[in-house]
Amino acid sequence: MSVPPATITADSVTRIDAVEPSVPPERTPSMRNPVATQSIFDLAVPGRRSMLFPPSDVPDSPLDELLPADQLAGSPPALPEVAEPDIVRHFVNLSTLNMSVDTHFYPLGSCTMKYNPKRHERLAKLPGLVDVHPYQTPEDSQGLLSVLYEMQEMLGEIAGLPAVSLQPAAGAQGEFTALLVAAAYFRDRGENRTKVLFPSSAHGTNPASAALAGFETVQLGASADGLVDLDELASHLDDQTAVFMITNPNTLGLFEKDVARISQLLHDVGGLVYIDGANMNAVLGITRPGDFGGDMMHYNVHKTFTGPHGGGGPGSGPIAVRDFLGDYLPGPVITRNGDTFELATPPKSVGRMRTFFGNVGILLRGYFYLRTLGPDGLKAVSENAVLNANYLRVLLNDVLPVKHGDLCMHEFVSSAAPVKKERGVTAMDVAKRLLDHGFHAPTVYFPLVVPEAMMMEPTETESKATLDAFAAAIRSILEEDPEVLHTAPHGTPVSRPDEVAAARKPSLRFCRPDR
Ligand SMILES: *Cc1c(COP(=O)(O)O)cnc(C)c1O
């Protein structure tokens, strides 16, 4: 049957440029998205099916002849009886309830929420890579092992630290792994070093990893310029010092210009320097942790090298260490013997940190990212990330001032303290209201050294137009009635959850907003 085309006249379409941009409409959850109020069980109708099977043309076998009776469930599972379009619409709508890099600008500081190229998704799914079973023998998985070997080599090169383990599942586990490596190294040398030091701006995972690895944690005070205070650091260093953990650029988005001197101070007392590599996006191809004195580092492949990492995962946190620490790395590492790739466990390995070869899916995306860009492309990534951050910082500096430093690296930390003082509007109010304006919020209240902190990391993948629109949204928010801001967001199904309870006691069951 042919369907006549609908008649479209100039009057029947709304011209895009005729729509007022300005303030977003206040939407009720149900207008915005039906799944905010419905579970898939609400859509069920008894007997409704997504597919109909042809009648069976083989004789029935009683199930208990095929399976032991005590393994049978007794009754069918209570699955919702729904048609395929119901399922597709339900889950597609559900997927849009969260903001993501694919739907919105996402300047979440420290998290490097850059765009994840779809090309890498496609390449990482090549059957020769994705269909390899981890229990296949190395002889049978040479293609995948060659890619992972090359990834080890590239990560070693970018770090300036040649020995690499792809095992850790995320940055935090990379930190923990490297600290176990350090502990094994000191134990091997007969040294009893108990202390791990870190600046007060450190990411919370740093002290947590150190404590988990059995070290005593020592936090340095905050210096006025936001950088490590060398005198204070020196006063803590002795033959009990194991590791100094430092993020460079640091979490204020400032390059620790004295990092080589800091490393020297640590090495003078026999300690090691750990570089938290979460901020590598600022320095790729420009400088290397190994060149400024770091002995160990982790990468966050999901941040710096584009693994999609919204919603809590997945991650990949390879570590790179100096030659003399390579013997302690977790196994297996991938080694090359002529044209053959093999799995090996380093002689004094701390053991396995994760199953098989690490989080291969994310490593592959990172691999293709690195191969796509090459050295010049990587350098351009960092240059543009830094340029974008400084551009946005300047656009906002008069309303959300940055206390530390005149220039930032790939991110900066603004403060809403002045607007809080003048109008009672907090960093949280601005962050929440941004969701109504169609932007993901920046990181707020971290690092702790900045009051009413708003940590913004635009990344290199955003256009000037996006940064301009974001800055304009913040400016218009700051002019809104504070009452509207205190209760924002108004257009999301959930407005202000108890964030601590949501993290510590997550309720993973569907719950209607009215209950
Ligand atoms: C993200 C981050 C970490 C932790 O990395 P995960 O991959 O989330 O475990 C550690 N340090 C800094 C500075 C970070 O931004």
Domains and CATH numbers, the chain: 6-92 (no CATH), 119-373 (3.40.640.10)
- Measure 171 CA to ligand 1 centroid, in angstroms: 5
Is the distance from the beta carbon of residue 171 to the nearest atom of ligand 1 less than 6 Å? yes
Q: Tokens standing for 314?
A: 């997945």
Relative to beta strand 195-198, strand 340-344 is unpaired
Q: Whose CA is nearest to atom 11 of ligand 1?
A: 203
Q: Whose CA is nearest to atom 7 of ligand 1?
A: 171
Calpha distance 445→451 (Å, rounded)? 7
- Measure 201 CA to ligand 1 centroid, in angstroms: 13
Cβ–Cβ < 8 Å for 441, 473: no
Cβ–Cβ < 8 Å for 232, 220: yes
Q: Give the residue, out of 198, 205, 306, 319, with the most ligand 1 atoms within 8 A of its beta carbon, to mutate for a pocket test.
A: 205
Query: Exposed (0-12), middle (13-18) or buried (19+): which is 504, by Cβ within 10 Å?
Result: exposed
Question: What integer pLDDT is reported at residue 25 of this predicted model?
Answer: 45
Calpha distance 144→149 (Å, rounded)? 9
Q: Give the residue, out of 110, 114, 280, 300, with the most ligand 1 atoms within 8 A of its beta carbon, to mutate for a pocket test.
A: 300
Is the distance from the beta carbon of residue 203 to the nearest atom of ligand 1 less than 6 Å? yes
- Model's pTM, two decimal places? 0.87
Cβ–Cβ < 8 Å for 105, 466: yes
- Measure 17 CA to ligand 1 centroid, in angstroms: 42
Q: Please give the number of the atom of ligand 1 that sits closest to the Cα of 175.
A: 10
Is the distance from the beta carbon of residue 317 to the nearest atom of ligand 1 less than 6 Å? yes
Amino acid at position 112, single letter: T
Q: Please give the number of the atom of ligand 1 that sits closest to the Cα of 315.
A: 7
Question: What integer pLDDT is reported at residue 68 of this predicted model?
Answer: 83
Q: Tokens standing for 220?
A: 């340095």
The angle, 0 to 180 degrees and rounded to 10, between the axes of the packed helices 464-478 and 427-436 is 120
Q: Give the residue, out of 167, 198, 201, 276, with the most ligand 1 atoms within 8 A of its beta carbon, to mutate for a pocket test.
A: 276
- Measure 125 CA to ligand 1 centroid, in angstroms: 26
- Can you give the pLDDT of all 515 residues of the chain as single tens digits? 344 443 434 443 333 333 343 444 444 444 456 666 788 888 999 999 998 989 989 888 777 678 888 888 888 888 899 999 999 999 988 888 888 899 999 999 999 999 999 999 999 999 999 999 999 999 999 999 999 999 999 999 999 999 999 999 999 999 999 999 999 999 999 999 999 999 998 999 999 999 999 999 999 987 889 999 999 999 999 999 999 999 999 999 999 999 999 999 999 999 999 999 999 999 999 999 999 999 999 999 999 999 988 665 689 999 999 999 999 999 999 999 999 999 999 999 999 999 998 999 999 999 999 999 999 999 999 999 999 999 999 999 999 999 998 899 999 999 999 999 999 999 999 999 999 999 999 999 999 889 999 999 999 999 999 999 999 999 999 999 999 999 999 988 888 888 889 889 887 776 655 54
Is the distance from the beta carbon of residue 253 to the nearest atom of ligand 1 less than 6 Å? no
Is the distance from the beta carbon of residue 489 to the nearest atom of ligand 1 less than 6 Å? no
Q: Whose CA is nearest to atom 5 of ligand 1?
A: 171
Is the distance from the beta carbon of residue 411 to the nearest atom of ligand 1 less than 6 Å? no
Q: Whose CA is nearest to atom 6 of ligand 1?
A: 171
Helix ranges (H only) for 359-459 are 360-396, 417-423, 427-436
Residue 392, Cα to own-chain centre: how many angstroms? Answer: 21
Is the distance from the beta carbon of residue 169 to the nearest atom of ligand 1 less than 6 Å? no
Is the distance from the beta carbon of residue 202 to the nearest atom of ligand 1 less than 6 Å? no
